[in-house]
Amino acid sequence: MTHELKTPVFLIKLAAKILEERLQVSEHTVLQLIKRESDRLLYCFISIKYLI
């Protein structure tokens, strides 16, 4: 289960990293939101893994 959940989050984080290099500074606010929320999801998935 963890693999199926973590892989999409890692891909979102990778896409955000690529976008960060290409976007203007004024557009980084939305990008920071994407990165922060994907980190939260990843943390939740890892926490769930240890509860199961």
Q: Each residue of 20-45: pLDDT tens digit?
A: 889 888 888 888 999 999 899 888 88
Nearest to 4 by CA among 51, 47, 45: 45
Q: With 80 as the cut, is the pLDDT of residue 4 above it? A: no
The type of residue at 33 is L
Say if CB 9 and CB 38 are below 8 A apart.
yes
Determine the pLDDT at residue 2.
63
Say if CB 22 and CB 30 are below 8 A apart.
no
Q: How far is CA 12 from CA 33, 49, 50, 52, in A?
A: 12, 20, 23, 25
Q: pTM of the full predicted structure?
A: 0.71
Q: With 80 as the cut, is the pLDDT of residue 12 above it? A: yes
Determine the pLDDT at residue 48.
82
